Structure 1
């Protein structure tokens, strides 16, 4: 129910205490018992710090009223002090010392005689002092002679509550709607009502009502729903007043309270609301309360729910949500509070590693999860034990933590004869040496054979550690390269080639072993490296087209396979790579080695055409532009415009490899599309050495 004025608002019973305190304080201002009343009230409510604080705020306002004249005279002294080096200083000081007493005593005629045409009527001092003293005659004279009021003039008039003074000032056309808060703050509700009835007021602040203990004005804000007044009670920690029902059904709903405490994170409020039963399970907008709280990043509220809603279950899915949203604090707290048998630790381990949140692994292990547990990386469809995982993804902190807590590598799928060697080798590479017999020597060839049975990510990490530790990958009987081919782990061959220098003979033997293994021709020596089958494919065509052996491509290129050879359909290895491979490293290597990257196959389709058709990695093109390799620039530029690829467009522009006319002639539709949809294409067209005056008509 809305009210037009403050005076007609009812004060609810719940706020009678504050209203009574307010009346005592403001009435004491008028009967000169202010200090006595202030001391009595502060003693009475010294144990209620919220009310005591509001009493102090209100007293400060009353003090400003009591001392208003003295404070103003101090302002006059400061004003004159600014003119202390001015020739008019003594004249002004003398003039004010004569004029102010005349305003005090309402001596209009004498005042007029002292104020001649030389006096500056824009000076705010005289008009403000007349307002403070309530001298209507002199105020009227000053206003008729052009004296200008300022913000303080209107503030003083309202603070002192002089209706006649306010009416005089209102005749000047001032909008008193701007001063509504001053009237409320100084408990001038009659003046506030006059302002509300005669002016538009849009800036009332409920907190000012409470600061000055103007309870009626605060109720006016409640009934008219101004600036969420009940939430201001929460801000000021009047929890009980904020949550009870105010007259006419005005109260904060549970959902409003919930939103408020989430945004403020005021734990004192939270505790109060839960303890009083104001926040219930029905207050939450989601039936899954814990999931809602986790997503909203408000962990401590979840702990309150756990305490006050004991029948509400915190499940494994909620633990996973904590992992996903990185809510460490709540995760750890709930692990402390929920019985271990109700938690599926295995699924939480999997969730932690698949969300790349290894910090949760430490917490799970410290809460009793076995250090030799297995986890599954879903995107790789690969299973590791925890120590293997920490090595594969090289997490030194996790490795050290696991080893200190007794973690072992998964060696049960390995022959017993090499288990010890394998485990010792890993610890040695990690500089975590095991206490073994000093005569024990690690056989790294056997170790590498065992390593090949493990997931590739793990193998890559260990190869890096072996090279870093100076382990020779040319073992006693076989090289690591040859063993990788023998055990058909072609994916790691590129890693071996990139990390270790094998001699030519080792590479040749590896090549022969590979071709025989995949039955590509009857290859017995390196002289057969460019053998072509009935489809015209050489071994490089074959490995690229199969897309299962691309890791061996670098080995073949190092050995001198013909990268420009064409199949019966005129396909180069580069063309096949654009069709079948997503390996950017391989494609970049082929671009570097291929003589004619613009060659076309039997369908007149080039590498660039297939690149665009398959929307391959932009870094490939950026690398070509950087190296200024010649290719069909306009074709790629139009692709970049269509794909809104600013990186490629900018690279072309910076190198000045494509001119506007070439694009316009090539595909004006895509140019038009780019101009109106991508971004300011004119930036691209502004070449310093290009004059577009002859072609401007073609552009449209």
Structure 2
């Protein structure tokens, strides 16, 4: 398929070199809240011990998933703790130094717990007992957590500007929340990168169809282990730049030398450094 014909990230054929990494990445991104933490940790450790992936790969992946899946951050922290007993976290953590959109929300733990549980009745009682004030931070948290019941209650009773909510809604991937905000005229133009970071490629495709600003690089896709997006960018053609430098260097630090070799064959390498020598 030519780059001119390639319009959808979801329809891209992932390069063979990425498929094994993609399978493991999707296991982590799709982790369910009720999965057994020890068993899941053992699975990841078995992949590391079999040299299928490296511990650096796992730690970087879990870090990013924790950012964009707040409902499972506790479980991700526990999994990290278990794996850290066998493998030392890297001093240079690429994922933690990547440029992610700020998704922090500063509200009390009580209101955060109510929204986490998506309890609109408890939320109503809380607001009534708090002089009836609905803050934009409440809506941000509902969007961030994908708490649709709380979101609907809040959006019906809030009369302020809503544009700040777009990035939180895209990060959670709740399509109903995105639809409601879109109907209310919220601008999603600058949300393509966060859709890639959060592995919501169906939303990224929707943004592309609606001429959203594409401010995302192949490195952004690699940090999030979004292999459909990586394959998409490679097929579209990505010029050598500092983001590609970071990508190749990160892949080498994660011992993904088959990926480094593949990127080298595609013409991507760290400027002035023969990375391929480390793959021999």
- Range into which the TM-score falls when normalised by the shorter chain: 0.5 to 0.7
1:41: which partner in 2? 44
Q: Distance in 1 between matches of 2:55 and 2:166?
A: 31
Separation (CA, whole Å) in 1 of partners of 2:238 and 2:133: 43
Instruction: Determine the structure 1 residue equivalent to 2:262.
Output: 244
CA contact (8 A) 1:45 1:51 kept: yes
Residue 61 of structure 1 and its aligned partner are, at CA, apart by 2.7
Tell me if 1:5 matches 2:17. no
Structure with the larger RCO, 1 or 2 (CA within 8 Å, 6+ apart): 2
* Aligned position for 2:26: 23
**Of the candidates 205, 221, 229, which is equivalent to residue 209 of structure 1?**
221
1:478-493 correspondence runs (5 A): none
Q: Which string of whole-angstrom CA distances, capped at 9 and with x for unpartnered residues, describes residues 521-547 of structure 1? A: xxxxxxxxxxxxxxxxxxxxxxxxxxx
- Say whether 1:134 aligns with 2:151: no
1:77 aligns with 2:108: yes
- Counterparts of 2:27 and 2:7, CA distance in 1: 26
Aligned partner of 1:55 in structure 2 is: 58
Q: TM-score, normalised by structure 1?
A: 0.30
Which residues in structure 2 correspond to 1:560-579 (within 5 Å)? none
The equivalent residue for 1:167 is: 179
Structure 2 Cα separation of the partners of residues 243 and 139 of structure 1: 51
Task: Provide Cα deviations, 1:623-679, integer angstroms capped at 9, x if missing partner.
Answer: xxxxxxxxxxxxxxxxxxxxxxxxxxxxxxxxxxxxxxxxxxxxxxxxxxxxxxxxx
Checking the alignment, whether the CA contact within 8 Å between 2:48 and 2:55 is kept in structure 1 is: yes
- Report if the CA contact (8 A) 2:33-2:72 is conserved: no
Matches within 5 A, 1:268-417: 269=275, 271-272=277-278
State the distance in 1 between where 2:278 and 2:123 align. Answer: 66
* 2:190 alignment counterpart: 178
What SS class does the counterpart of residue 76 from structure 1 fall into? coil
Two-structure CA RMSD over aligned residues (Å): 4.1
Mapped partners of 1:111, 1:150: distance in 2: 27
The answer (yes or no) to whether the contact 1:103–1:111 under 8 Å persists in 2 is no
> How many Å apart are 1:119 and its aligned residue?
4.8
Name the structure 2 match of 1:157: 169
Give the whole-Å Cα distance in 2 for the aligned partners of 1:155 and 1:137. Answer: 17
Q: Any idea what SS the aligned residue of 1:75 has?
A: coil
Give the number of aligned pairs. Answer: 239
1:222 is the counterpart of 2:234: yes
* Contact 1:161/1:188, CA 8 A, preserved across alignment: yes
Which has the larger displacement, 217-226 or 173-182?
Answer: 173-182
Q: Name 1:146's counterpart in structure 2.
A: 159
User: What residue ranges of structure 2 are gaps of 5+ in the alignment?
Assistant: 75-102
Structure 2 residue aligned with 1:355 = none
Partner of 1:437: none
Larger radius of gyration between Structure 1 and Structure 2: 1
Structure 1 residue aligned with 2:120, among 100, 106, 113?
106
CA contact (8 A) 2:9 2:204 kept: yes
Tell me by how many angstroms 1:77 deviates: 3.1
Using the TM superposition, give the Cα deviation of residue 150 of structure 1 relative to its aligned residue in structure 2, in angstroms.
6.1
Name the CA distance, whole Å, in 1 between partners of 2:205 and 2:46: 34
Post-superposition CA distance 1:38-63 (Å, at most 9, x none): 44223422575974322211112333
Partner Cα separation in structure 2 for residue 103 and residue 34 of structure 1: 21
Offset of residue 112 of structure 1: 11
Counterparts of 1:451-490 in structure 2 under 5 Å? Answer: none
Deviation at 1:232, TM superposition (A): 4.9
Distance (whole Å) between structure 2 residues aligned to residue 234 and residue 113 of structure 1: 50
Is contact 2:218–2:230 with CA below 8 Å preserved after alignment? yes
Task: Kindly state the Cα deviation for residue 115 of structure 1 after the two structures are TM-superposed.
Answer: 8.3
Q: Normalized against structure 2, the TM-score is what?
A: 0.67
Paired with 1:242 and 1:69, the residues of 2 have a C-alpha distance of 30
CA distance in 2, matches of 1:120, 1:175: 25
